[in-house]
Structure 1
């Protein structure tokens, strides 16, 4: 390991910093392009340019040794789509390329729009709702479960399993250790099923069909199912919950969206930038190198802090800590960048855009109806509850 020039004792995974990480992120950005964190034994890369550099160069910054922060989970996930480099990564990602193509996603837009309007219509009649429990944790899971083809009896376990996956990737703390039984339960189920247990014509069934054709190893099929399930739900759930929270606390921004529906794509990008649903993954340096002059040693692990990069005033200007739906945030990094950029981001955008459109049709104003409760997770950021009252359009 290289000589550490800027060590820090900061604990990014404390309850305090998980509740509000942005002051700590700013302090790290101001300290150096990369800061060694003694508590977790790796570098924190926090500035936009540095994060984009790491994500964009898999040959120097490898995912093949795991993208988490503990040896147990990193070892267990090696060779998965998250924890692999080319050529294996390209083979695994290619399995769902057809299912996630723009044409395939567009074919689902009508159905998803109908579901969004139906859900919002049911919620506005009561004059208020919990934007997490009745909206964010209802809309994406129902769509993803159908898309991947999960049997009905396992669907109630999908949300706990997804949350457990992201907690298990963290450092060895209480959240990580408490997630391990959930991870064991998830893997016990997924390694016990056959492709025929998933709905015919679904994305999940396509994974097992690819294994039967010899495109991928049969051992890779369960791992692909786990990766796409967790990524497709928790990130979208948290983004939708954050959107309602931001629109309730910034009513003028919701007014702007309702007045000009062409702002919906920009508004969702700004939600992703301002409250990135995934805060961190890691990479390992494959050689001695430097990030903007900070030396990194071969074998060093680096935390790639998406959420910090998306608040970096060096890139987004002095207003980086302001929520503005008219901002061009199309280059935000919440969905990653480069080789491991989120394969399903087009699908996530379609879900969110449909829901924004439905809410804009029926809801004139969101108003907080109590104190939101933050849901603490090692790798993803979201809310546990968000009570709101609404004024009908």
Structure 2
């Protein structure tokens, strides 16, 4: 049997940074996908991938489709391993704190989805950085101030005094396991790990996925507010908060495109790609590909059966902390609020890669399960 001939990707004249793409990229994604799942973006040699199966194949092959910048370091991975061992306690605290945050947020005169997302992520990051529970929120506006600080692109986590407490906490809890500290010292190129080393790595671990966490949570709340029937399914527990979050990330991911560089020539979806070319993996397009998601791919359906760990979802909104923050605050929202509806049109940040809300004002009514 002869092999199918390798094709050259068709060229399209669409710019991923045009005003149309920044405002709403999805109609342009459909245009591109109508040409082919793999297209050339003009004469510059860049390629865009819109098909779900093709994007998934590229994500699953990080050797050929190489990231130009690594997300983490071996030392980061060691600290993540330490932190995961305390995840159960952290999860309990996160869910408890999320309930209190939603209670306070629902009472404000102008509740906003982005504000709630920032407050939740701020509280979890403060917890991981070792801020004692007795201190968190004890000063007026502390959580709010830190949440606003997280919105600043020039976030200076190194100046956060809570990190030194975190270092002491983890040193105390792990002092009996020399293997962990030996691993960390090895990856840092030191003979012995110092408290300052733990402090720095904890900050990197706790703040690595802040943007994705805030954006994905805010988008999920906004979609639930604009789809009353889907909110009712979550509110009545016919769909879980995590299901709603995964569906929101599929439909409108915070990270809508990833840039990869081919280390060698390859064939993707039947189209030949040369070594060295830059490839844009359009996660937002893959999440709505009707070839994979059927004709409902552009609809928000919280009962859609998406596996708990899906490469597309985990790439578009990465990090254990993102999952934890989403599950805790969306679960609390469903328990404590009977209705959530838009109070005014949401406003988005214009960006060719990140898709996030600047604000999403809401009206909220407290439910029977609400407690202060």
* Residues 299 and 27 (structure 1), Cα distance of their counterparts in 2 relative to 1, 3 Å cut: same
The residue that corresponds to 1:200 in the other structure is: 168
Q: Partners in 2 of 1:224 and 1:55 — Cα distance?
A: 26
Q: Deviations over 1:196-240 (max 9, x none)?
A: 59643369xx9x96787222347x999967864554211111111
Q: Partners in 2 of 1:275 and 1:114 — Cα distance?
A: 28
Q: Deviations over 1:329-371 (max 9, x none)?
A: 224613229xxx93x23x3222211112211122111121112
* Residues 17 and 304 (structure 1), Cα distance of their counterparts in 2 relative to 1, 3 Å cut: same
* Residues 317 and 227 (structure 1), Cα distance of their counterparts in 2 relative to 1, 3 Å cut: farther
* Residues 245 and 81 (structure 1), Cα distance of their counterparts in 2 relative to 1, 3 Å cut: closer
- Residue 345 of structure 2 corresponds to residue 384 of structure 1: no
Matches for 1:14-25 after TM superposition, within 5 Å: 14-25=18-29
The residue that corresponds to 1:98 in the other structure is: 81
Matches for 1:340-355 after TM superposition, within 5 Å: 342=318, 344-345=319-320, 347-355=321-329
Note if contact 1:28-1:46 (Cα within 8 Å) is conserved in structure 2: yes
Aligned with 2:227 (options 247, 250, 262): 250
Q: Deviations over 1:29-70 (max 9, x none)?
A: 22222212138752111111111111111222122xx15xxx
Per the TM alignment, residue 22 of structure 1 is displaced from its structure 2 partner at its CA by: 0.7
Note if contact 1:144-1:232 (Cα within 8 Å) is conserved in structure 2: no
The residue that corresponds to 1:216 in the other structure is: 188
Q: Partners in 2 of 1:210 and 1:140 — Cα distance?
A: 31
The residue that corresponds to 1:371 in the other structure is: 345
SS of the residue 1:44 aligns to = strand
Q: Deviations over 1:88-115 (max 9, x none)?
A: x6x35532342353x4322211111111
Q: Partners in 2 of 1:242 and 1:40 — Cα distance?
A: 34
Note if contact 2:63-2:263 (Cα within 8 Å) is conserved in structure 1: yes
SS of the residue 1:298 aligns to = coil
Residue segments in structure 1 that go unaligned for 5+ positions in a row: 68-79, 83-88, 162-181
Q: Partners in 2 of 1:40 and 1:200 — Cα distance?
A: 52
Q: Partners in 1 of 2:239 and 2:9 — Cα distance?
A: 48
Matches for 1:308-319 after TM superposition, within 5 Å: 308-319=285-296
SS of the residue 2:312 aligns to = coil
Note if contact 1:7-1:36 (Cα within 8 Å) is conserved in structure 2: yes
Matches for 1:122-201 after TM superposition, within 5 Å: 122-126=104-108, 128-133=110-115, 135-148=116-129, 155=146, 157-161=149-153, 182=154, 199-201=167-169
* Residues 45 and 148 (structure 1), Cα distance of their counterparts in 2 relative to 1, 3 Å cut: farther
TM normalised by structure 1 equals 0.74
The residue that corresponds to 2:263 in the other structure is: 286
Q: Partners in 2 of 1:4 and 1:223 — Cα distance?
A: 47
Per the TM alignment, residue 127 of structure 1 is displaced from its structure 2 partner at its CA by: 5.9
Q: Partners in 1 of 2:43 and 2:205 — Cα distance?
A: 30
Q: Partners in 1 of 2:95 and 2:199 — Cα distance?
A: 30
- Provide the aligned length of Structure 1 versus Structure 2: 336
Larger Rg: 2
SS of the residue 1:389 aligns to = strand
Note if contact 1:248-1:368 (Cα within 8 Å) is conserved in structure 2: yes
Residue segments in structure 2 that go unaligned for 5+ positions in a row: 1-5, 132-141, 175-179, 191-196, 368-372
Q: Partners in 2 of 1:137 and 1:94 — Cα distance?
A: 25
